Structure 1
Amino acid sequence: MTRLPVLRTPRLTLRGWTFADTAAALDVYGHAEVARWLSPEMTRVPTPSAMRLLITRWIAECVGLPPPAGRWAIERDEDKRVVGGAVLLRLPPGHEDLEIGWQLHPDVWGNGYASEATYALAGWAFSHDVDEIFAVVRPDNARAAATVRRNGMLWVGETRKYFDLDLEIYRLRSADLKLGAQTSQRPPGHGNDD
């Protein structure tokens, strides 16, 4: 059984999901502003029982995923609140490309949490012989596009390869992550869109 590692940032803990996270997760994945950007394989979560079922699936899925892949809850250290979720997952259809992604509750947008989660997940991925990771962004999701660019990710084009949707593709390599870390050290709430 593969155990998901706990990843820490200056203000966040990324850890495996638990059933105790059901209400907080529903607050994120049931929120209309979050749901509109979810992958086509996932829709807005309508009820606590649906969220619990999804968490059950995520926990089981993580057991069989080879590192560095996984699904993490993002917990804010100051109050232990789960403010979102993050993923490193293989993209369909060929499951060759590794996607990095996050979903945060709208009331914590603008605090730099997506950047912190990105650095933690990318560092974990790059420690496992991964050369590059990708973010897929819907063309009208300007907030996510700005965040991935600020984190050192480079736009590499558009495709319908994943999920049969028009998507912008951004790539991050280890050197790009270091560059992004150097250029995005702004105080939270001062120009960070994530």
Structure 2
Amino acid sequence: MARQLVTNRLLLRSWRIEDAEAALDVYGSAEVTRWLSPIMETVPDLVAMRLLLRQWIAEDVRAIPPVGRWCIQRREDDRVIGGASLLPLPPGNQDLEVGWHVHPELWEQGYTGEAMFALVRWAFEHEVDELFAVVRPDNVQAAETVRDNGMEWAGETDKYFGQTVELYRLRPADLDRLAPRADLPPGYRAQ
């Protein structure tokens, strides 16, 4: 089961079925899911969202940390604003990907970077030696987010998902190098 992670503005916690309506606001948005294809299509309705959440919850129960899926909840008002994950990449499930998805009206407010940083810290606390972000070449915003959070471009590859993607990598030493920066999301702690 995914461990709860807390930052100054966010709570990353396990998904619950009662999150379905808020999750549909995120995963029912073509603006969000266009970047997730071919892995995930736009969720069409509340019934489909509940089924998907059940699947994610069941997978999370069996996952060995640091692997997991998290609901991103804003602490100030308890609003569910998105989701995040640390998942093995196919084929072979040897590489671990950090991913995030936030409601479009909340883009460019630093939530994705804050969630990403919390997951990265969580993974490195579990002796992961490198993390990857897989970004579609035309997803300028995601590429900017991963670069702003210290991930380095590792090149283009067609190894994952049957399409050419940009690959970004982060290692524990990179995180150590970033720690003194004043613009890192403050207040991370695992609970």
TM tier relative to shorter chain = over 0.9
| Larger RCO: 1 or 2 (CA < 8 Å, sep 6+) | 2
Q: For each residue in 1:54-74, what CA deviation from the matched residue of structure 2 results, as whole angstroms up to 9, or x when unmatched?
A: 000000001111110000000
2:95 paired residue number:
97
Aligned to 1:185: 183
Q: In the alignment, which residue of structure 1 is the partner of 2:109?
A: 111
Matches within 5 A, 1:39-188: 39-183=37-181, 185=183
Q: How far apart are 1:178 and its partner, in Å?
A: 3.6
Q: Is the 8 A contact 1:32 1:44 kept in 2?
A: yes
TM-score normalized by the length of structure 1: 0.92
- What TM-score comes out, normalization by structure 2 length? 0.93
Q: Percent identity?
A: 59
SS of the residue aligned with 1:139?
coil
> Any unmatched runs of 5+ in structure 1?
188-194
C-alpha distance in 2 between matches for 1:181 and 1:76 = 23
Task: Mark the CA change 1:186 to 1:70 in structure 2 (over 3 Å): closer, same or farther.
Answer: closer
Letter matched to residue 41 of structure 2: T
> 8 Å contact 2:86–2:98 — kept in the other structure?
yes
Asked if the contact 2:12/2:72 (under 8 Å) is kept, the reply is: yes
1:165 partner amino acid: Q
Q: Secondary structure at the match of 1:72?
A: strand
Instruction: State the shift of 1:92 in Å.
Output: 0.2
Q: Which runs of 4+ in 1 moved over 6 A?
A: none
Alpha-carbon distance, 1:186 to partner: 7.6
Give SS of 2:114's match: helix
Give the counterpart letter for 1:61 in structure 2.
Answer: E
Secondary structure of 2:19's counterpart equals helix
Kindly tell me: are residues 81 and 8 of structure 1, through their superposed partners in 2, closer, same or farther at Cα, counting changes over 3 Å? Answer: same
Which amino acid is 2:118 matched to? A
When residues 88 and 160 of structure 1 are mapped into structure 2, their CA distance, relative to the original with a 3 A threshold, is same
Q: Contact 2:149–2:184 (CA<8 Å) still a contact in 1?
A: no
- Deviations along 1:17-46, whole A, 9 cap, x unmatched? 001100000000001110111142210000
Distance across 1 between alignment mates of 2:37 and 2:65: 22
What is the count of residue pairs matched by the alignment?
Answer: 185
**Matching residue of 2:29:** 31
SS in 1 for 2:116: helix
CA shift digits 1:99-133 (9 cap, x unpaired): 00100001111110111111110111001110000
